Structure 1
């Protein structure tokens, strides 16, 4: 849109009224729908917050009833809290010591710790499967090594045709 340098009074009044009308329309819309928009924004913000699940503590066995004694005792000892059960098994001290040796930039420290921790199978790191993706690799056992096929005629190099999609089929691509 070109800028008009020679505007007369009529054009100036037109633009003034037009901008004032747009401003009034925006104000009317905000008065009418502003509270609904704010409520939707708050609902979306609340939906984005992660859900906090309650922590389940292990059940303590019921204690046997105390027999009344005539001997006065000292003040009762404080009740021991049940230990918080973690999702992961504790790390071996030798593996944890890797965290404090060197820096990650030199492939030491955290880098070395994480690579060492990665070598353990999930059953050795976690008490139970945390996510649904864990069910694919949970308790599979050691990996089975497949021996290479000795017959080169049976081996297919690739799923795709070597000579293009619309070319005639190459007899090497066919498997009988």
Structure 2
């Protein structure tokens, strides 16, 4: 670094300092006060009014009037649909849910037993589809893998899955010899 470049850096640093001081003098009074909050509320967009009765009447004219049984089935399905749509998880069985309300965790009952029972199921049994990309590895693995009891108490799982079919060592080449 020569003298000319050093002077350039020195001037640029002092110029930045002066600009900061000028800004501070100009806005000094505003810095001590907290920022004022807006009292205006944001306007929430609203949907246009749709007359449901006229739409239902038009649909009934096209399709014909549904029976009372169909109306009841539709109302039951509409009540259950929002709950199903909000959850990615399959519903809990009533037997497992009953464990939640039976006793206290301190006594190894209640929530403790409920969580143990839920832990026994894998993610593919609890969810409809993988929620994260890391769940794709091994999703529904129980369908693909067959577990068997080994015949003589040993298992060759690592050997068959990891090593090559024709052994660990490959065929020696002519130039593999040590000199």
TM-score tier by shorter-chain length is: 0.3 to 0.5
Q: TM-score, normalised by structure 1?
A: 0.39
Q: As a proportion of its length, which structure holds more helix?
A: 2
TM-score by length of 2: 0.38
